[in-house]
Chains A and B, each alone.
Chain A
């Protein structure tokens, strides 16, 4: 039973994550070295690939957008101590929500009506898909981790059936919907910024990035400024005290899960409304799962989630570049780096805590020993 001194807040919030990140990159560097490449060259290629080539920043931010949504989804649920593993399925259903509105109203109504409806619908479908496991947890005690995982499979099967059946585009072989009408297509950032005179290279970066930024702010206000957020946090931190305080714990769990699902569903605004302009098979591509790492690394705080999303976005984009530049390094290297980051900032998040705390305590400890 060894009690470690508490870490100062700045060290806990800034220094520790940086040390963890450094450790992850250090181990990856060793592996690159073992492969027979220079880790510094590789790092250089990755950073350039993520930020400095003409189109690279756009790609990085496009990936970032996905991670913000799925990270927020995991974080919202986690504030109520619910481990939502179902971001993947909720985002998938969000795509269906967007598609239903886009296909029904897209051809007839103007963009200013269709797009907001599509966005709301994607959030609503995601919310609904998370609300059911939330209900089962709150009222029936079915463990949220199990149910959300199973709902991922349900979502996957449902979407395969829809995309290969009722929603499938006629006259071709891919399981996908028809292209949405232009009124249901989210404008590209290149077009928007071009309108203001900024020249941007071609990339899938689109307006949903702003929706993601708004979502970050909404999340912040919801969790820390509203009574609902207070109740969600109370349930998450101490369910018994919440019950004592007269909070309807079951209701709060269901609501928190629904909001969580809504954030996940909004990922469809990027992939479906902003990039593909149709629902394609498996467009969620694992972003929902990476959201867990994002929330973990971002400490369930909007600023942290934004920075973690940016990091993972840069990894995705820079990793692709790595694959391109080196024959001996494949795209799987990115998965390895991700894995290391998750390992060090998630599973081993507090590994360096005791030694760091002791170091800081030693540096800042009062020297006097003979008072009183």
Chain B
């Protein structure tokens, strides 16, 4: 090993748990990472922040051996290291908790943690060893989990804990967390941070990838900022501000808070009474939900995802039939006996920006211009002849792309080839074009970069000020609080309460999201 010894990076090698020098990675003509230099001090929490598509995930995948860098060097604990597979990474003490959990839902905690290191063809011995190790880890880090519980019975926070335990059990001393808080309540996030602090105290190095500025400020020691595949800055967290970080991420000044006037409301355009729905397996997923929205106001719906927001949106847009209750929307009734199709609702002026643009909002293989008329392809947008007016569709798309600043401005490019923010802009441009009177919005800025978030929020506020009744469902609490005039909190398919946005705070909403009813103020 004399060769690797010669290649260690200077005298203060042990100071850095991880060091990258000149890492570059291209996919064809796309250069996802360019000449990345990064030093991560041992025993610190280091944040990596950047917009979507900035190259964070690529960099982490290189660290974890899922991609191989085209050039550059990597040092783990001062030793020059080549990581070719994730097994290599684990062997070097690097563990990763993915954004989407890699757990087998029908397996127990124990079975999941053992996965990949069963230890021989008979499970018994490995099981006992794993249980002992889990207990030890649980005591050290305050992460107690019942090893025999089924993953499917655990809540999201606990599942994430299992993921962390899985990484630590493999001997990880460097833990990479990819957008870990996206699915957590504020309280769960706080618990996660508590665990991370304990890990840090024990000398574990944590790499936290996120796009949430507040979290960076709260938990990290140092932060590195990426933009367009490059590292654009390293800061000690204590010496920086959210404003500076946002500017570094986007490359220009950005407005972090939503800027809006008091609402000018008029008639009730959407009135929901006692709405209920069952899942296909017979679970009640929406339970006696009532609320109303007036023209000119935004009702935000807060809640951990999977607490009834999706079926509610589906009913309001004609994609699901309720089993109880009814909706009065722009003079029409939706109920079990009088269902409406998405087409009928669109025709009376209900716009729908779906929660998941990849599943519902876009046909990814379609050209941008074909997506720009999706749902409106029967109407005047596609021309008035028997055949579709491709030239007209294209002109329309070009105009909309200009107006909503979709980049690149190429109507013929398949939707899949746009970045998340630009895909969302296509959906928003389409749904705004028809001047909806009621707009149902799900996760307006999921996977969208900071610059585009500001733009999308402005568009929604402008539509509100034009008299549209808007319902916004979002798992980003900051977003719900910033955009909404009133906030409804959902838990387990029920309406826990509706509060005025300026008379509440994260703590109160967090408790409501956990199902604890608060005294409603509106």
Contacts and interface: CB of A to CB of B under 8 A. Distances in A.
B171 interface: no
B331 interface: no
Given A1-B61, A1-B67, 4 more contacts: A5-B28, A226-B387, A237-B363, A238-B365
B388 A372 contact: no
Contact of A238 (B346, B352, B364): B364
Contacts of A14: none
B387 A231 contact: no
Contacts of B360: 240-241, 243-244
Given A226-B386, A372-B34, A233 B377 contact: no
B203 to A, nearest CB: 30
B388 A226 contact: yes
Interface in B326-367: 341-344, 346, 352, 354, 359-366
B61 A244 contact: no
A243 B342 contact: yes
A361 interface: yes
A240 B34 CA distance: 37
User: Which of A4, A231, A238, A241 lies at the interface centre, i.e. has the most chain B CB atoms within 10 A of its CB?
Assistant: A241
Interface in A1-37: 1-6
17 contacts: A5-B29, A225-B390, A230-B370, A230-B382, A233-B363, A237-B363, A238-B363, A240-B359, A240-B360, A241-B362, A242-B363, A244-B319, A244-B360, A245-B342, A246-B378, A247-B343, A366-B29
B197 interface: no
B27 A3 contact: yes
Contacts of B318: 246
A331 to B, nearest CB: 40
B230 interface: yes
Given A3-B27, A244-B375, A372-B34, A227 B230 contact: no
Nearest to B354: A244
Interface residues of B, number: 39
B364 to A, nearest CB: 7
Contacts of B26: 5, 365
A243 B320 CA distance: 11
Contacts of B363: 233-234, 237-238, 241-242
Nearest to A7: B28
B374 interface: yes
A2 B25 CA distance: 12
Interface in B275-324: 317-319
Interface residues of A, number: 32
Contacts of B342: 243-246
Contacts, number: 89
The 8 closest A-B pairs by CB, nearest first: A5-B28, A246-B343, A245-B375, A246-B342, A244-B360, A238-B363, A225-B387, A237-B363
B66 interface: yes
Given A237-B364, A244-B342, A244-B360, A361 B386 contact: no
Contacts of B29: 5, 361, 364-366
Contacts of A357: 28
B375 A246 contact: yes
A237 B366 contact: yes
A225 B388 contact: yes
Interface of A: 1-6, 221, 225-227, 230-231, 233-234, 237-238, 240-248, 357, 361, 364-366, 369, 372
B341 A246 contact: yes
A5 B343 CA distance: 39
A227 B388 CA distance: 6
Given A1-B61, A3-B27, A244 B361 contact: yes
A264 B394 CA distance: 34
A23 to B, nearest CB: 23
A6 B27 CA distance: 8
Nearest to B359: A240
A364 B341 CA distance: 50
Given A244-B319, A245-B342, A237 B27 contact: no
B233 to A, nearest CB: 14
Nearest to B28: A5
Given A240-B360, A244-B352, A361-B29, A234 B61 contact: no
A149 to B, nearest CB: 28
Contact of B66 (A1, A241, A248): A1
Interface string B431-451: 000000000000000000000
B67 A241 contact: no
A241 B34 contact: no
Contacts of B378: 227, 246
Contacts of B362: 238, 241
Contacts of B319: 243-244
B382 A227 contact: yes
Nearest to A238: B363
A243 B343 CA distance: 9
A113 B26 CA distance: 64
A300 to B, nearest CB: 12
B480 to A, nearest CB: 23
A2 B390 CA distance: 37
Contacts of B386: 226
A230 B366 CA distance: 10
Nearest to B417: A6
A243 B375 CA distance: 9
User: Which of B29, B317, B318, B386 lies at the interface centre, i.e. has the most chain A CB atoms within 10 A of its CB?
Assistant: B29
A237 B365 contact: yes
B136 to A, nearest CB: 32
Contacts of A248: 341
A337 to B, nearest CB: 32
Contacts of A364: 29
A2 to B, nearest CB: 8
A6 B61 CA distance: 20
Contacts of A245: 342, 374-375, 377
A1 B84 CA distance: 12
